[in-house]
Amino acid sequence: MRVLIKIILYIIFALIIGIALFFLWAGSGIVSKGRLSGINKYSDDFEDSSRENDRFKIITFNCGYFSGMRNNLSVRSSKEFFTRNLNLFSNLIRDIKPDIVCFQEIDFNSHRSYHVDQSQYLSNHLKFIYNAFAINWNKRYIPFPYWPPSAHFKKMVSGQSVISMFPILSNKRIELKRPPNPFYYDKFYLDRLIQEIEIIIDDKKLVILNIHLEAFDKKIRQEQAAFVVNYYKKVHMNNGPVIILGDFNCVPPYALKMCNFSDEPGTDYSEDRTITIFLEEESLIYASDGIKNREKTFPSESTDRKLDYIFFTKKYIDLVGTDVFNISSSDHLPLMMEFRIKQ
């Protein structure tokens, strides 16, 4: 009996050690801290985008790693499925001809999307010359979706990126405050970021703050929004044109529907001031065509709320127009702003 008890204890001890080692390994990063952001250039010959006037186009798109409406579902989609969604978006971009495209939730080297660097793929296929990346999810093994194990994300290198026809001078990765998750959950949680880009357009410096705010913790999301606005005011407000865009993970204060969403019945945006924090900053303007039913960006198959936004400095930028495009490449829809930089 004593021998049996010892064997059982050894087995339990070995299992605990094994789980602990797996936890430490799986939650560790693949990419070193010094390489979590960078700039790539794909051509030595700068070519101006195909414009015949002083108007520019910028797009923000939470591409959901080009998984369509299967984002975060327990489904292992084929490589052809992802390629089809990438090419569908590429065709849209060829028609629109934007100068700058900013992504959230784009994969650089992840098992779930067959290790394709999606930002590089689009840069090459669309002949964008500059590409800046900021990694915000850097783990050896993500055990999600929880069941079945065959659907686990596993290796994860994902984040935000900006592709541009114009020279990118700098690319900073700024981490935002984390929610108070339990340690075993936080070990695998992604970073929320400001990706700060400096671009030269017609001899003028344009700053872009590409952001992806907290999705689940309302208090932390509001604190992140306040940090972004304060950072903008402190560093950039009076130093030239600035665009703040991305997935803000919150509906506007005038939204008619704040809760009881069919896809997220537990989500409630009541009394959430995330967007109000941006609207209250007098130096910023919210890019909108004024037609509220055209603003919704999520979920893509049947939009019922707006989560994606573009704000800009009214002192330095004139709004020409905005548009949202129907496309099934992601669970979000891409949002575009056409603008002029004031002389």
pLDDT (tens digit per residue) in 27-82: 999 999 999 999 999 876 555 545 567 999 999 999 999 999 998 888 899 999 99
Query: For residue 204, what pLDDT is reported?
Result: 92
Q: Note whether 153 and 64 are within 8 A (CB).
A: no
Report the pLDDT value the prediction gives residue 47, as an integer from 0 to 100. 54
Supply the pLDDT for residue 48: 52
Mean pLDDT of 144-150: 91
CATH topology of domain 38-341: Deoxyribonuclease I; Chain A (3.60.10)
Q: Give residue 292's pLDDT.
A: 58
Hey, what amino acid is at 282? E
Give the H or E element holding residue 85: helix 79-96
Q: By percentage, how much of the chain surpasses pLDDT 90?
A: 85
Of 7-11, 239-243, 283-287, which range is least confident? Answer: 7-11
Tokens coding 154: 């596993």
Phi, psi for 263 (deg, rounded to 5): -90, -20
State the pTM of this model: 0.94
The predicted model gives 226-234 an average pLDDT of 97
Q: What pLDDT is recorded for position 236?
A: 87
308 close to 248: Cβ distance less than 8 angstroms: yes
Check residue 334 and give left, alpha or beta (phi > 0: left; psi -120 to 50: alpha).
Answer: beta
CB atoms within 10 A of CB 33: 10
- Name the residue ranges covered by the structural domains of the chain: 38-341
Residue 290's pLDDT is what?
66
- Assigned token pair, 221: 């999301």
Task: Output helix, strand, coil percentages for the chain, rounded to the nearest 5.
Answer: 30, 30, 40
The stretch 251-272 carries a mean pLDDT of: 94
Q: Which of 7-11, 172-176, 236-240 has the highest mean pLDDT?
A: 172-176
What is the distance between the alpha carbons of residues 306 and 293, in angstroms, rounded to a whole number? 10
CB-based burial label for 49 (10 Å; 0-12, 13-18, 19+): middle
Mean pLDDT computed over 291-313 = 90
Q: Which helix (H) or strand (E) holds 10?
A: helix 2-26
pLDDT band at 265 (very low <50, low <70, confident <90, very high): very high
Predicted local confidence at residue 100, as pLDDT: 98
- pLDDT band at 288, cuts 50/70/90? confident
Give tens-digit pLDDT for 304-341.
999 999 999 999 999 999 999 999 999 999 999 999 99
- Beta strands 193-201; 242-247: pairing state: unpaired
- Nearest-angstrom CA–CA distance, 338 and 75: 37
Structure tokens at 198: 């400096």
d(CA 149, CA 204): 50
Q: Give the mean model confidence (pLDDT) for residues 256-264.
A: 93
